[in-house]
């Protein structure tokens, strides 16, 4: 880990420890890299506009500035090289070509690895960036790889007449110079005092003193320093927005910070498009900065007074945006959810104990408990929504992966995403990413045909993989579809017979498709570094089943394949139906319950091997007696199970035989495997209102038990 500034100096003699900002930097650098990667993938090489190129440049510049501030020189050097190439592109001195996108994407990956190493305290082997730096330098100089289109200079934009702006003398490294720094406009001018503290606390930065200001909300300082304005801006960004900082030489009118970059070409700072979310903004060029400034010779700079006037309302808008977001550690959110869960249990306990009270004598108490019930539910829903994040977070991982895989396989594939705003619990998002990655890779490798094969079949050579997410009841359904060759029933059955699986030609299509989830099963003719080893699809089903989810496959040979993943919206709190069996209470997920009815013993038929069936509206379904499954002791011999609850999972239904229905209510899910061990046919446990523990049944496991 790079050393931080911890030496005390100046009047206060206080320590200034930059390590307190490390975590914020790593998080924002990761966000900038993700944003850069997405913008590079979306870049239209034939008609790249200034907004796209400026956005990519800003990401690289922000990472470089933060890395340089903390002393992460390897990251700063690599991103500086990226910045140089991007600077020529945004100035229209070069035309973007695919090798440039490739090297920038690889550089983003290398930056992630370098940052991860710094975050881990310097552990692990450092990634070599020598080759990347050389390739970037060659591309920036106009040298392109063999076979790639020449990076011809792009036509320069037409000059725009504007009033000349004051200039700042070029910075000579190591030379002491005098500057005026104007900070503002600020709601509280005391914010600028932190700038003075920086000069006192960081050895060698320089000296600073106050000057009178003629503008409300603006602080003016006289500074003597050997640092460049670029380095000063990167330091000041911890405390004020960059567009609120302006520099001038001597008594001249201050120039906007966005117009000044004595060490490199002029930086263009523009507000991000599309109303992107704003976090703290410590290490990013602030949204709402003055508009872009073309290169010298192409267009003149706008006047400083116009830049200041434009910055004031935008700075206020930025302050308003930043106040609507806050970065909170996940463990704090989890702790809050646990406390709300305990509150739900306590509320259920009070509700149960108050049922026998006289409504007339305890009217106010019962009314208060009713309000508590309503407010607890509202609080629980609000807290749970904090953990809900959009599926776009998951979907954004796949364009890059699919691009690289398609290039490797020589295929042309387009990724379409639907329902990106659909929200899912953060814990599920983290666990569903790997299964979805397997499914997308499988569609690209096995499903989408080679371009020539697609054209021969009358299909467009560009294959399509569609990722969609939608809410259905209390679940979320994620689908991975492709318009490729689909599954071959004959080939799957032949492979299954070769592996000794118990199959027959009379199996339904749905059962045949389920064979691809068998461990070690693969239809690939040869093993490659992409697939063919038979691992992947079985992992997909196992991981999704562990999340109380299910997987369904639908396919039409020659037309494509669809895999549907159904998951609960959250793993923390659920709506359940409590049922009684003997002296025990079990919880059924309400989303799995179809119906319940009373049954006579004559309605149940016994078939081979003692299995039982019940006929429900011309449909026979298996019967599972919970009393036998869980070996529930029967103390009241006169009591018997005569109520059936129909549950559905994995596209099949079974009837559960229980003694009584106790009611519907919300339950707080406790992980039984973490606190005890894995129990068959049980997905978790909860605490009831009377303080007893009830098991939450795994309806998917019960359905599979009945099926086999």
Peptide bond connecting 185 to the previous residue in cis, omega within 30 degrees of 0: yes
For residue 635, the domain's CATH number is 2.40.50.180
Alpha-carbon distances, residue 8 vs 11, 71, 200, 202, 204 (angstroms): 9, 18, 8, 8, 12
Contacts of 15 (CB under 8 A, 6+ apart): 6, 7, 8, 201
What pLDDT does residue 481 have? 92
- Shared domain check, 468 and 381: no
Residue 676 lies in a domain: yes
Q: Is residue 118 a contact partner of residue 1, using CB atoms and an 8 Å limit?
A: yes
CA distance 458 to 474: 41
Angle value at C-alpha 415, between 414 and 417, nearest 5 degrees:
145
Segment 557-580 shows an average pLDDT of 83
Q: Is residue 663 a contact partner of residue 678, using CB atoms and an 8 Å limit?
A: no
Rg of the chain, C-alpha, whole Å: 32
Segment 410-435 shows an average pLDDT of 86
Segment 464-485 shows an average pLDDT of 86
Say if residue 277's pLDDT is above 70: no
Say if residue 706's pLDDT is above 70: yes
605: helix, strand or coil: strand
Last residue of a domain, one of 534, 553, 568: 568
309-318, 354-363, 580-589: least confident range:
309-318
Alpha-carbon distances, residue 7 vs 15, 196, 232, 484, 672 (angstroms): 6, 16, 19, 63, 51
Segment 336-346 shows an average pLDDT of 84
- Shared domain check, 676 and 628: yes
CA distance 525 to 441: 16
Last residue of a domain, one of 514, 539, 568: 568
CA atoms within 13 A on the CB side of 335: 5
Segment 420-442 shows an average pLDDT of 85
308: helix, strand or coil: helix
More confident call, 84 vs 200: 84
What pLDDT does residue 281 have? 35
Say if residue 304's pLDDT is above 70: no
Residue 31 lies in a domain: yes
Pairing of strands 604-606, 550-556: unpaired
What pLDDT does residue 298 have? 37
Choose from 192-201, 405-414, 640-649 the range with maximum mean pLDDT.
Answer: 405-414
Q: For residue 31, name the pLDDT band (cuts at 50, 70, 90).
A: confident
Segment 80-92 shows an average pLDDT of 86
Total count of domains within the chain: 5
> At which residue do the structure tokens 């009070």 appear?
350
Say if residue 466's pLDDT is above 90: yes
Segment 282-290 shows an average pLDDT of 36
CA distance 271 to 291: 8
- Shared domain check, 42 and 133: yes
> At which residue do the structure tokens 């290039």 appear?
407
What pLDDT does residue 473 have? 61
Last residue of a domain, one of 299, 322, 345: 322
Q: For residue 276, name the pLDDT band (cuts at 50, 70, 90).
A: very low
Say if residue 406's pLDDT is above 50: yes
Paired residues of 117 in beta bridges: none
Report pLDDT digits (tens) over 389-402: 888 888 888 888 88
Segment 492-498 shows an average pLDDT of 84
- Shared domain check, 505 and 473: yes
Paired residues of 472 in beta bridges: 475
CA distance 166 to 306: 13
CA-based max dimension of the chain: 102
**What single-letter DSSP state applies at residue 447?**
I
Domain that holds residue 288: 177-322
Alpha-carbon distances, residue 187 vs 108, 184, 240 (angstroms): 37, 8, 11
What pLDDT does residue 149 have? 55
More confident call, 454 vs 531: 454
- Shared domain check, 628 and 644: yes
Q: Is residue 206 a contact partner of residue 226, using CB atoms and an 8 Å limit?
A: yes
Buried b / exposed e across 252-290, counting CB within 10 Å, b at 16+? eebbbbbbbbeeeebbbbbbbeeeeebbebbbbbbbbbb
Tell me the average pLDDT of the chain: 75
- Shared domain check, 362 and 227: no
- Shared domain check, 600 and 588: yes
Report pLDDT digits (tens) over 145-169: 665 555 545 554 444 333 343 455 6
Residue 165 lies in a domain: no
Report pLDDT digits (tens) over 515-533: 888 776 766 555 454 554 4
| First-last CA distance in the chain | 56
What pLDDT does residue 455 have? 92
Least Cα distance to 200 among 9, 7, 6 occurs for 9
Paired residues of 181 in beta bridges: 221, 247
Segment 332-361 shows an average pLDDT of 84
What pLDDT does residue 201 have? 66
Q: Residue 435: phi, psi to the nearest 5?
A: -60, -40
- Shared domain check, 559 and 424: yes
Least Cα distance to 653 among 571, 596, 694 occurs for 596
Q: Can you count the helices (H) and strands (E) in the chain? A: 20, 23
Contacts of 414 (CB under 8 A, 6+ apart): 462, 463, 464, 465
Say if residue 215's pLDDT is above 80: no
Residue 346 lies in a domain: yes
Burial classification of residue 132, based on how many CB atoms lie within 10 Å of its CB (0-12 exposed, 13-18 middle, 19 or more buried): buried
What pLDDT does residue 474 have? 62
Segment 107-129 shows an average pLDDT of 84
Residue 151 lies in a domain: no
Segment 474-501 shows an average pLDDT of 85
What pLDDT does residue 330 have? 78
pTM above 0.85, yes or no: no
Residue 585 lies in a domain: yes
Residue 11 lies in a domain: no
For residue 74, the domain's CATH number is 1.20.120.160
Q: For residue 4, name the pLDDT band (cuts at 50, 70, 90).
A: very low
Q: Which tokens in the block code for residue 443?
A: 């569609």
CA distance 255 to 169: 12
Name the strands in the sheet holding 177-183, side by side, starting at the edge strand that comes first in the sequence.
Answer: 207-211, 219-225, 177-183, 245-248, 255-256
CA distance 413 to 447: 11
- Shared domain check, 456 and 352: no
- Shared domain check, 480 and 439: yes
Say if residue 2's pLDDT is above 80: no
For residue 408, the domain's CATH number is 3.30.565.10
Alpha-carbon distances, residue 318 vs 170, 186, 187, 275, 279 (angstroms): 31, 12, 12, 11, 11
Least Cα distance to 104 among 151, 176, 43, 46 occurs for 43
What pLDDT does residue 196 have? 75
Strands (E), 172-226: 177-183, 207-211, 219-225
* 3-state helix, strand and coil shares in percent for the chain, rounded to the nearest 5: 40, 20, 40
- Shared domain check, 530 and 441: yes
Q: Which tokens in the block code for residue 200?
A: 């006192």
- Shared domain check, 699 and 638: yes
CB count in 10 Å sphere of residue 185: 17
Q: Kindly write down the DSSP assignment for every residue of 92-143, as one continuous string.
A: TSS---HHHHHHHHHHHHHHHHHHHHHHTTS-SPPPP-HHHHHHHHHHHTT-
Residue 149 lies in a domain: no
What pLDDT does residue 465 have? 93
Q: Is residue 253 a contact partner of residue 166, using CB atoms and an 8 Å limit?
A: yes
365-379, 405-419, 608-622: least confident range:
608-622
């Amino acid at each position: 880990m790079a050393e931080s500034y911890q030496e005390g100096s100046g009047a206060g003699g206080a320590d200034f420890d930059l390590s307190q900002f490390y975590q914020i930097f790593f998080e924002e650098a990761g966000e900038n890299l993700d944003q850069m990667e997405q913008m590079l993938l979306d870049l239209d090489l034939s008609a790249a506009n200034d907004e796209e190129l400026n956005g990519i440049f800003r990401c690289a510049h922000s990472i470089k500035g933060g890395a340089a501030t903390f002393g992460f020189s390897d990251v700063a050097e690599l991103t500086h090289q990226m910045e140089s190439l991007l600077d020529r592109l945004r100035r229209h001195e070069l035309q973007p070509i695919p090798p440039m996108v490739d090297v920038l994407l690889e550089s983003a990956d290398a930056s992630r690895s370098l940052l991860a190493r710094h975050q881990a305290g310097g552990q692990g082997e450092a990634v070599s960036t020598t080759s990347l730096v050389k390739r970037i330098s060659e591309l920036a100089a106009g040298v392109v790889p063999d076979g790639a289109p020449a990076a011809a200079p792009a036509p320069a934009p037409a000059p725009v007449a504007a009033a000349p702006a004051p200039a700042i003398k070029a910075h000579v490294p190591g030379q002491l110079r005098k500057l005026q720094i104007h900070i503002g406009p600020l709601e509280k001018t005391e914010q600028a005092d932190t700038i003075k503290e920086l000069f006192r606390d960081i050895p060698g930065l320089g000296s600073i003193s106050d000057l009178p200001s003629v503008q409300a909300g603006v602080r003016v300082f006289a500074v003597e320093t050997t640092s460049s304005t670029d380095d000063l801006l990167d330091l000041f960004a911890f405390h004020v927005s960059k567009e609120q900082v302006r520099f001038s030489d001597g008594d001249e009118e201050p120039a906007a910070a966005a117009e000044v970059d004595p060490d490199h070409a002029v930086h263009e700072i523009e507000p991000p498009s599309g109303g992107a979310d704003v976090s703290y903004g410590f290490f990013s060029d602030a949204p709402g900065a003055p508009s872009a400034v073309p290169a010298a010779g192409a267009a003149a700079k706008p006047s400083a007074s116009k830049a200041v006037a434009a910055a004031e309302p935008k700075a206020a808008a930025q302050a308003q945006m930043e106040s609507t977001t806050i970065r909170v550690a996940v463990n704090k959110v989890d702790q809050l959810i646990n406390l709300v869960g305990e509150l739900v249990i306590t509320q259920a306990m009070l509700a149960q104990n108050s049922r026998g009270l006289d409504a007339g004598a305890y009217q106010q108490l019962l009314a208060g408990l009713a309000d508590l019930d309503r407010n607890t539910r509202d609080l629980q829903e609000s807290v749970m929504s904090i953990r809900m994040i959009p599926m776009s977070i998951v979907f954004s991982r796949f364009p890059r992966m699919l691009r690289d895989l398609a290039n490797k396989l020589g295929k042309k594939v387009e990724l379409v995403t639907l329902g990106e705003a659909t929200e899912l619990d953060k814990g599920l998002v983290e666990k569903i990413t790997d299964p979805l990655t397997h499914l997308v890779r499988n569609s690209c490798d096995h499903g989408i045909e080679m371009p020539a094969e697609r054209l021969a079949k009358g299909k467009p050579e560009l294959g399509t993989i569609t990722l969609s997410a939608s809410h259905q009841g209390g679940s979320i359904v994620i689908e991975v579809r492709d318009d490729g060759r689909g599954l071959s029933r004959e080939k799957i059955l032949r492979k299954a017979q070769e592996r000794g699986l118990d199959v027959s030609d009379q199996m339904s299509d749905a059962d045949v498709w389920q064979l691809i989830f068998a461990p070690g099963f693969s239809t690939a003719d040869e093993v490659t570094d992409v697939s063919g080893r038979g691992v992947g699809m079985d992992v997909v089903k196992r991981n999704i089943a562990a999340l109380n989810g299910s997987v369904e496959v639908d396919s039409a040979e020659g037309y494509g394949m669809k895999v549907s993943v159904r998951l609960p919206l959250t793993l923390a709190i659920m709506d359940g139906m409590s049922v009684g069996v003997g002296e025990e209470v079990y919880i059924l997920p309400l989303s799995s319950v179809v119906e319940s009815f009373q049954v006579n013993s004559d309605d149940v038929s016994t078939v081979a091997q003692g299995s039982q069936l019940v006929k429900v509206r011309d449909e026979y379904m298996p019967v599972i007696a919970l009393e036998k499954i869980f070996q529930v002791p029967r103390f009241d011999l006169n009591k018997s199970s005569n109520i059936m609850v129909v549950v559905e999972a994995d596209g099949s239904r079974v009837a559960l035989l229980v003694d009584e229905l106790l009611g519907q209510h919300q339950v707080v899910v406790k992980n039984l495997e973490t606190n005890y061990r894995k129990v068959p046919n049980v997905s978790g446990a909860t605490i009831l209102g009377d303080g007893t523990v009830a098991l939450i049944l795994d309806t998917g496991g019960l359905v599979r038990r009945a099926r086999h």
